[in-house]
Chain A
Amino acid sequence: MREPIVNVQSSAQNGIAVAVRSVWKSFGSGPTRLQVLRGVDLDVRYGQMTYLLGPSGSGKTTLLSIIAGLLRADSGSVTVLGHDLARLRNGEAALFRLRNLGFVFQQFNLIPALTAAENVAVPLLAAGVPRREAVERARALLADLGMGHRADELPSKLSGGEQQRTAFARAMIQSPRLIICDEPTSALDGPTGRRVMELLRKHALSPDRAVLVVTHDFRILEFADTVAEINDGVIVKVTEATGVR
């Protein structure tokens, strides 16, 4: 398999981690064809937390999936970490995600049969790191997040906040340069959600990293550097941090 080469320098030079240009995407065909994205333009900058807001059905998840390389755009271009996703074949895209992206899912998606530490170690195990080493690294990260004492618990024994922190640790374990979060606080109470966002923010402040968050949760807007609002498949408004916080 050809290894995707991340063009760190060129993407870092212009400060843009993700550049979405004129992206169109539809599902189905004929009379049932649904146009979800209609020429979306979006920048996600390094060192920032970018929020994507919009009502249900506005195209947030589709855009997120395209940026993550999980879906292909019908037209337009998506450059992630200096890499044109359209040029990556499926296997290369998978490897690219494994090396460069971290995901925090709305439902956490922790594997029930694995302990918290083993769940955190999943990306390392998938990358071929020996189990002992992977789990030790996962334990260390969980300890950093204040969950060292819960590392050997199954997800069913963890609270919602602990599960989310575990999911966050899983996203962080490979030190990805882009973290993509889908409704990361929707299942959490206010204080727990704030703690998770503080962790994400800390990660995003690194100059070569970025965080993209899809959310409905206005409680956490204060953590955003940039807020892009999408409606009916179009980015209708982009607000810089100073205007939000």
Chain B
Amino acid sequence: MQVRSDRGLAFIAWQMLTGDRSKYLGLVLAIAFSTLLMSHQVSIFVGLLDRTRSQIRDVSEARVWVMDPKTRYFDEVRALRSTDLYRVRAVPGVEWAVPLFKGVARVKGPDGIFRNATLLGLDDVSLVGLPRKFLAGDWRALQSPRTIVLDRLGYEFFFPGQPYRTGAELEAGPLIVRVGAVVDSSPPFVNLPIVYARYSEAPDMAGREPRSLSYVLVRPRAGVSDEELAARIAAATGLKALTSDAFGWETIWYYIRNTGIPINFGITISIALLVGALVSGQTFSLFILENMKYLGALKAIGVTSGRIVRMLLLQALIVLAVGYGIGIAVTAAFFYFTRNNLELRGFRLLPEVMLLTGGTVLIVVLLATAISVRRVVVLEPAVVFRG
């Protein structure tokens, strides 16, 4: 007679696991808590880093960014000479090249409240860099003088509780400007309002600066790759030229290397991992320890160690699946319900984070199981006779 299947043992394993409600809940909640902390913190971490390049990504028309060779990341602006724009335009393979001004404007609202804002001066003709999603008005607003486009965060700061509409006036530096449109731009790393203005007017709003060309935004001709054009521009002008993607990553890496963000999040994630591993590992070990005499009885009756290990693995995987499901569901619910919160918008649970968290929790559970399983494998079934 061969043993036909392990279904019966799977049933016993399931009953043993769920029959002890308090331990079962303890195990599930430990995994759920660990999953929640890890997936939530990793999502915030990834979202924060993604925010550092959000304004680069918003300029979807440009494929190559040209900047001063010393520039290390998006917010660190070292102005170029105005002639650099023409030098870039002269490089073979350039379809078009337009200027971008990036500065800071002190913007004052109708009630006298003021706030520093990120000021982006866009090419007067093409308006390259203006977000496409308008909440009020449209792109033609910037055709009028002394007119700005305000992002959602800025609008809700200066006009709290008011519906999105155009026509209101603000002070931007020394100028009185009219809000010609409201756009929904990607959330920036620092939660400052973003003001979009014409390149010719932006420096006046920021206070007169000697040089106004922060970046040159470039589009390659058909048949020329972004990387190839960036290399050509760098070689021809001595300036730094990066594809949008490369500039985005360079910005992200700057924040990783030069801020405490990765360390702080790393500590939180490590604590989550440690707490999850310790709590779930210890609870599972206790669970197995308390069931040792029954497992010993099963061995005595004739269940091999391998089949008992499979029972324990099944129990571990059930706990993992339920705990992970609850943890991920809570994280997803958090980001779903906060999706319209201005401070938290843009943070979301990515499939990659789900996979990473799942993989990590799986390793933790398997390790905890392996440690506990060892006791069962080395358990002499004779122990059951000794009471």
Contacts and interface: CB of A to CB of B under 8 A. Distances in A.
Contacts of B385: 61, 64-65, 70, 105-106, 182
B13 to A, nearest CB: 10
Interface in B1-45: 1-9, 11-12, 15-16, 18-20
Interface string A100-125: 01010111010111100010011111
A168 to B, nearest CB: 14
Most buried by A among B19, B297, B298: B297
Interface in B287-319: 293-294, 296-307
Interface string B346-387: 000000000000000000000000000000000011101111
A204 B385 CA distance: 21
B294 A65 contact: no
B297 A105 contact: yes
Contacts, number: 123
B11 A68 contact: no
Interface stretch (A13-21, A89-97, A140-148, A225-233): A89-97
Nearest to A111: B294
B302 A97 contact: yes
Contacts of B384: 103, 105, 109
A1 B304 CA distance: 12
The dominant DSSP class at the B interface is helix
Nearest to A60: B385
A134 B8 contact: yes
Nearest to B15: A113
A127 interface: yes
Nearest to B303: A126
A129 B5 CA distance: 8
A147 to B, nearest CB: 20
Give the interface size bracket for B toward A: 35 or more
Given A126-B298, A128-B5, A130-B7, A111 B12 contact: yes
A98 interface: yes
A189 interface: no
Contact of A107 (B6, B293, B303): B293
B300 A122 contact: no
A143 B19 CA distance: 25
Contacts of B1: 3, 99, 127
Contacts of A101: 302
5 tightest Cβ-Cβ pairs between the two chains A and B:
A113-B19, A125-B8, A98-B302, A128-B4, A65-B382
Given A70-B380, A70-B385, A114-B12, 16 more contacts: A1-B2, A70-B381, A91-B306, A96-B302, A97-B302, A101-B302, A103-B300, A103-B301, A111-B294, A113-B18, A122-B298, A122-B301, A126-B8, A127-B8, A130-B7, A130-B8
8 contacts: A103-B301, A105-B384, A109-B296, A111-B16, A118-B12, A125-B7, A129-B4, A131-B8
Interface of A: 1, 3, 61-62, 64-65, 68, 70-71, 90-91, 94-99, 101, 103, 105-107, 109, 111-114, 118, 121-131, 134, 182-183
